[in-house]
Amino acid sequence: MTDHIAPQLIIDATLYTLLFFSVLTWTMILFKLWQFSKNNLNNRKFSELFWDAPDVISAQQLTETVARGPRAKLAKIGFSWLQNRQQISGQSIKYLGVPEDLLAQELTTALQKEVRFLEMGLTLLASIGSTAPFVGLFGTVLGIMHAMHEITASGSTSLDVVAGPIGDALVATAIGIAVAVPAVLAYNFLLRHVKQNRTDLENFVVSFLQLVFAEQAKDKV
């Protein structure tokens, strides 16, 4: 049976699959680290400029020139919504309701999009981390079957003959574990940063809402 399914070919395909998983894992890890570093830098720069602005109008103008990073995007969406509401209020049911609640919903939707973008690739890391050991085990089982077939064909059961092929077969399991460990560690590390970024964005949305509606209340007085 093993002759018909070309076990050596399947074992090699298993090892190449694990190699592909490893390349995917490290590519995603490097990309996510770059993404988080860039977002954190942009958020920090934007927050310093935004909260140091002398008034809301200056802060709004800032979002037109510095629209980098999730916080800048949320602020730009918020100011754009307020402008559109002032221009076409009463002409669209989109703006019917309490302005604070409507804007909060708009910003929450935008925040969720940003979080989904931050989460991109984490499912891949989790999948590789959970499946790579089983792929390696699959290669090991086939390798042992192939080794047993060759040992039977040779007619010798000495330790020198048995240990070599079985030891080679176990390499697939070791590679599978070596691929899975970085994927699992990276997934847990990045997931923690996604949660931190989500909390930071939620806090920014709350502060932004307080700012714009406090300014509007002051203008009405």
Residues 121-175 pLDDT 10s: 999 999 999 999 999 998 888 878 877 777 677 666 665 656 666 777 788 889 9
The one-character DSSP state at 97 is: S
* SS3 call for 186: helix
What are the boundaries of each domain within the chain? 7-220
What's this model's pTM, rounded to 2 decimal places? 0.81
CB 95 within 8 A of CB 6: no
Residues 129-141 pLDDT 10s: 999 999 999 888 8
